[in-house]
A and B are shown apart, each in its own frame.
Chain A
């Protein structure tokens, strides 16, 4: 396990990921719909402007990450097949909803 992780850290990170940005404000995502290219890995930056923590959670993207209040988190996504991938802010799921559209 440890060796595997060390090996992983030494892997050359050749793939260039494009940057995309989401903002959380008043427990809502902006934009609520983010369009990304399909078939390529992207880097998603999520800025939480609220004071309270939020958890970016998506079963369809197989991603989950806690974002502390007033901080920015980085998540790598894809490569995705074309389609719609909903996500929520699990801590405020009634308002914090969005979708990533891969084209």
Chain B
């Protein structure tokens, strides 16, 4: 039961942390809650579909379909997180000052919401499909003890959700003047971590060279099987034995999104001079 709980916890944790961060980051975007729930439901349905067609996906592209599928899902998620963060850099300040009236004026608030739906949906789809397969395997076997294992699965799901919710509740307590910087950095690291994971799958499929594998080994000091390593893996893409190519992807995503955020948030001279005159 305990082993089952840990496996399910690991899968749920990643999606749960992504949702927790995104839910906090978009708290003042109008209608964001509705879109978040829609993303969650779409993701669950997608997870069921992916699980049901695992053999089909796996056999595509002469046996590396699963890696290509995961890399594409991660790639889309990175692009969406990048868009989200850059959008927030240009609208975040306005949202913070006057949520209600600004909400009506922001015409592209809906596009931000659909991005939220895609990010949440993809996170649930990717992590959920493995959970579905695992629990299906338990339910299908006849070696007894299924009910205790399924109970373990339920505990894992609840524990995963609890950690995500704790992060969400904690972020809401961050004072407003640091709030957007805090969520912005978290989303940035999330995106970089996913880029590194995408590279990991492409290396596993032999579509990318590993450059150096591993570049370093910190598995003795901070193993990914432990809770701190697990949390860091989900939050900032920590890998105890990363390939060099993963670091290339990580840093590329990190700097590209950061530059995008700085570029849209650059001070506009007219506004500042106007403020000075008043």
**Which residues of A approach B to under 8 Å, CB–CB?**
1-2, 4-5, 8-9, 11, 13, 15, 17, 41, 43, 45, 51-55, 59-60, 62-63, 65-76, 78-79, 90-94
A60 proximity list for chain B (CB < 8 A): 219, 241
Task: Classify chain B's interface size.
Answer: 35 or more
A-B contact list, 16 entries, CB within 8 Å: A5-B72, A5-B202, A13-B207, A15-B206, A17-B206, A45-B63, A53-B54, A53-B134, A55-B134, A59-B219, A59-B224, A59-B240, A62-B213, A66-B54, A68-B55, A93-B7
Task: Give the distance in Å from the alpha carbon of A92 to the alpha carbon of B133 in the complex.
Answer: 12
Cβ-defined partner of B75 (8 Å) among A5, A13, A90: A5
0/1 interface trace, chain B 4-43, chain A, CB 8 Å (1 if under): 0001000000000000000000000000000000000000
> Which DSSP category, helix, strand, loop or mixed, fits chain B's interface?
helix
Shortest Cβ distance from residue B224 to the other chain A in the assembled complex, whole angstroms:
6
User: Which residues of B sit under 8 angstroms from A79, Cβ to Cβ?
Assistant: 213
Shortest CB distance B176–A (Å): 32
Contact A93 B3 (CB under 8 A): yes
Is A11 in contact with B207, judged by CB distance below 8 angstroms? yes
Residues of A within 8 A of B3 (CB): 93-94
CB distance from B57 to the nearest CB of A (A): 9
Residues of B within 8 A of A94 (CB): 3
**Do residues B198 and A53 form an inter-chain contact, with CB atoms below 8 A?**
no
Chain B residues in contact with chain A, CB under 8 A? 3, 7, 54-55, 58-59, 62-64, 66-67, 71-72, 75, 78-79, 130, 133-134, 136-137, 140-141, 195, 198, 200, 202-209, 213-214, 219, 223-225, 239-243, 249, 252-253
CB neighbours (8 Å) of B223 from chain A are 59
Question: Which one of A45, A74, A93 has the greatest number of beta carbons of chain B within 10 Å?
Answer: A74
> B240 to chain A: which residues have CB within 8 Å?
59
